[in-house]
Amino acid sequence: MADSSRPAVRSGTFAIGGDLPVHRLGFGAMRITGKGIWGPPEDHDEAIRVLRRCLDLGINLIDTADSYGPEVSERLIAEALYPYPDGLVIATKAGLRRPGPDQWREDGRPEYLRAQVLGSLERLRLEQIDLLQLHRIDAKVPVADQIGALTRLQEEGKIRHIGLSEVSVAQIREVQGLADIVTVQNLYNVANRKSEDVLDFCEAEHIGFIPWFPLATGKLASEGGALARAAERLGAKPSQVALAWLLHRSPVMLPIPGTSKVTHLEENTAAALLELDADTLQSLDLQHA
């Protein structure tokens, strides 16, 4: 009974950085903002309910960023969940500017990264950020300067762990020469596996892999597609099968599906209760291209 009421517990656990154990199915807090990931949500109260419902469902990893809103997502998390329960891991990001709705600009200047991290600490009402992810490596700024800004904050106790986002294996290796990297967040889902080599590298290095856009299913979810057929057999939705596939794919996989609706949150989290048979797994691997 406890498992079905707190389905995220069934997703398994992974210790981020070796010392932050989380249930592997988390929550991405990008969509609780307004249209274009800009401004406040259309339904403020529902956004608060979504965040609080996460805890009820056993989710203890929430992923956000200073650029979501901007600042809106972090403020909502603090409003809904502070004082935070023991064991809740809040991951945030820095390194992107927001000129307007649906617009994103890389900014990896050390002074900007530092200012954004200090702002995130204030908005989230934290003394230390569990996981600070560099949202993008800025090609205009030396990598050592960007990572140096984060390691200095780490030395000051303002950041516990450092992660990266949208990087290649070569970039991870370069940054590993400058800092310990505990997570990588790349685009990855059942229909888009271009980061397969990065995932394999993360698994070998025991680095948490956070797939963004985890619910993209492409033609696999169309009528007669492998996801659609599997979902029908299992009495589930294609999106749930897609999440269950991610959880099965690797023990370092940390999917963070996001939504602004409690009903969708409950539906997504129930994916942790699905067990995929060998035929389903094979059919998804054969037809994803």
Q: For 72-98, what is each residue's pLDDT tens digit?
A: 999 999 999 999 999 999 999 999 999
At 37-53, the pLDDT tens digits run: 999 999 999 999 999 99
Residue 288 is assigned to a structural domain of this protein: no
Question: Which of the four pLDDT bands, split at 50, 70 and 90, describes residue 1?
Answer: very low
Output the pLDDT for position 289: 52
**Mean pLDDT, to the nearest integer, of 104-108?**
98
Residue 76 is assigned to a structural domain of this protein: yes
Q: Is 99 exposed, middle or buried (0-12, 13-18, 19+ CB in 10 A)?
A: exposed
Residue 273 is assigned to a structural domain of this protein: no
As for how many domains the chain has, the answer is: 1
From 68, 82, 112, 188, the catalytic residue: 68
Residue 221 is assigned to a structural domain of this protein: no
Expressed as residue numbers, the domain containing 139 is 2-216+250-258
Residue 116 is assigned to a structural domain of this protein: yes
147: enclosing H helix or E strand: helix 143-155
Q: Dihedral (C-alpha) 42, 87, 135, 33: value to the nearest 10 degrees? A: 0
Residue 189 is assigned to a structural domain of this protein: yes
CA–CA distance, 41 with 115 (Å, rounded to integer): 25
Residue 226 is assigned to a structural domain of this protein: no
> Which range has the worst mean pLDDT, 39-43, 71-75, 150-154, 285-289?
285-289
pLDDT > 90 in the chain, percent:
88
Residue 38 is assigned to a structural domain of this protein: yes
Q: Supply the DSSP string of 74-124, one letter for each residue.
A: HHHHHHHHPSPPTT-EEEEEESEE-SSTT--EE---HHHHHHHHHHHHHHH
Output the pLDDT for position 2: 45
- CATH code: domain of residue 103: 3.20.20.100
At 11-25, the pLDDT tens digits run: 999 999 999 999 999
Strands 20-23 and 13-16: antiparallel
**Mean pLDDT, to the nearest integer, of 167-183?**
98
CA–CA distance, 127 with 259 (Å, rounded to integer): 27
User: Is 68 a residue of the active site?
Assistant: yes
At 214-234, the pLDDT tens digits run: 987 777 778 888 888 899 999
Bridge partners of 132, per DSSP, are 92, 162
